Chains A and B, each alone.
Chain A
Amino acid sequence: MSNLVLAHTRYLVIEQIRVPIGILASAFFPALSMVAFVVPFAGQDPVGATTATGSLMLFGAVSAALTGLGIAVSQDREQPWNPYLRTLPAGPLPRFAGRILATLAAVLISVVPVLVVGALLTEATITPVRLLAGLGALVAGVLPFMLMGLFVGFVLASKAAMAVSQLLFFPMAILGGLLLPPAVMPEFVQALSPYVPTRGAAELVWWAIAGIPANGVSMAMLAVWTVAMAAAAGWAYRRDEGRRFS
Chain B
Amino acid sequence: MTVLARAIDVTRRYGGVRALDGVSLDIRAGELVGLLGPNGAGKSTLINLLVGLRRPTSGTVELFGGSPLDPVMRRGIGVTPQETGLPESLRVGEIVDFVSAHYPERLGTGELLARFGLGELVRRQVGGLSGGQRRRLAVALAFAGRPKLVFLDEPTTGLDVEARRALWDGIKAFHEDGGTVLLTSHYLEEVEALAERVLVVGQGRVLADDTMRAVRGLVGTRRVSLVADRLPDLPGVLSAERVDGRIDLVVTDPDRLVVELVRAGVPFSGLEIRPATLEEAFLALTTNPPKETAHV
Q: What is A's interface to B at a CB cutoff of 8 Å?
A: 3-4, 7-8, 11, 14-15, 18-19, 79-84, 86-91, 245-246
Closest-by-CB residue of A relative to B76 is A89
Q: Given A80-B82, A80-B84, A246-B54, check contact A91 B71 (CB 8 Å).
A: yes
Q: Which residues of B contact A11 (CB under 8 A)?
A: 87, 90, 94, 98
Partner of B85, one of A18, A81, A87: A81
C-alpha spacing A12/B33, complex, angstroms: 36
19 further A-B pairs in the complex, CB-CB below 8 A; given A7-B102, A15-B87, A81-B81:
A3-B101, A4-B101, A4-B102, A8-B98, A11-B87, A15-B89, A80-B81, A80-B82, A80-B85, A81-B82, A81-B85, A83-B53, A84-B79, A87-B74, A88-B71, A89-B74, A89-B102, A245-B53, A246-B55
B89 engages A18 (CB within 8 Å) = yes
* Nearest A-chain residue to B151, judged by Cβ: A87
B119 to chain A, nearest CB (A): 21
Beta-carbon contact of A89 and B71 below 8 Å:
yes
Q: Is the pair B51, A87 in contact by a Cβ cutoff of 8 Å? A: yes
How many whole Å from A1's CB to the nearest CB in chain B? Answer: 10
> What are 27 residue pairs bridging A and B, where the CB atoms are less than 8 Å apart in the complex?
A11-B87, A11-B90, A11-B98, A14-B89, A15-B90, A18-B89, A18-B90, A79-B85, A80-B81, A81-B81, A81-B85, A82-B85, A83-B53, A84-B79, A84-B85, A86-B52, A87-B52, A87-B53, A87-B79, A88-B74, A88-B99, A88-B102, A88-B103, A90-B71, A91-B71, A245-B53, A246-B55
* Complex Cα spacing A19 to B75, Å: 32
A8 to B84, CA, bound (A): 20
Q: Is B171 an interface residue (CB 8 A)?
A: no
Contact for A84 among B72, B82, B89, B90, CB less than 8 A: B82
Chain B residues in 8 Å Cβ range of A80: 81-82, 84-85
List the A side residues contacting B224 at CB < 8 Å: none
The 4 A-B pairs with the shortest beta carbon distances in the complex, nearest first, are A80-B85, A84-B81, A81-B85, A80-B82
- Neighbouring A residues of B74 by C-beta, 8 Å: 87-89
Find chain B residues with CB under 8 A from A82 CB: 85
| Residues of chain B within 8 A of A79, CB atoms compared | 85
User: A81 to B53, Cβ gap below 8 A?
Assistant: no
B30 interface residue, CB < 8 Å from A?
no
Q: Roughly how many angstroms separate A65 CA and B73 CA in the complex, as a whole number?
A: 35
